[in-house]
């Protein structure tokens, strides 16, 4: 793992860098139920994400210690992704964002 230490001074900017983008919050949304997910499972439930982008986002979340990747020594190989203990700290944030999204959908559909 690269040790890219930036001068992190603004907590909101740091959060945006760690969780920002089109797919990271969606990936985390599907991991907060506590059940580890395999790559193919995430790819099938996240509408519109390409395999290349899913790999990139999973690696980035893993690099930032939000998720863990567990590889099993089986044939065929099996890999599962889940939240780390630290990653579980984003669950309340995801829940608030989900509530906002539901309210916004309802408002826009009126």
- In whole angstroms, give the CA distance from residue 49 to residue 53: 6
Of residues 61 and 8, more confidently modeled? 61
% of the chain beyond a pLDDT of 90: 87
Mean pLDDT of 20-43: 96
- When pLDDT is cut at 50, 70 and 90, the band that residue 69 belongs to is very high
pTM of the model: 0.86
Task: Classify residue 58 by burial, with Cβ atoms within 10 Å: 0-12, 13-18, 19+.
Answer: buried
- In whole angstroms, give the CA distance from residue 96 to residue 98: 5
pLDDT > 70? residue 23? yes
pLDDT of residue 9: 84
Mean of the per-residue pLDDT values for the chain?
93
Task: For the chain, list the domains and their CATH numbers.
Answer: 12-108 (1.10.10.10)
């Amino acid at each position: 793992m690269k040790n890219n230490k930036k001068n992190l001074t603004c907590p909101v900017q740091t959060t945006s860098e760690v969780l920002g983008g089109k797919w990271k919050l969606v990936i985390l949304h599907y991991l907060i139920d506590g059940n580890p997910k395999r790559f193919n499972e995430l790819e099938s439930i996240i509408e519109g994400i390409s395999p290349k982008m899913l790999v990139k986002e999973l690696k980035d979340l893993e690099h930032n210690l939000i998720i863990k990747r567990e590889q099993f020594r089986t044939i065929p190989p099996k890999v599962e992704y889940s939240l780390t203990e630290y990653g579980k700290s984003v669950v309340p944030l995801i829940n608030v964002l989900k509530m906002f999204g539901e309210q916004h959908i309802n408002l826009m559909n009126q």
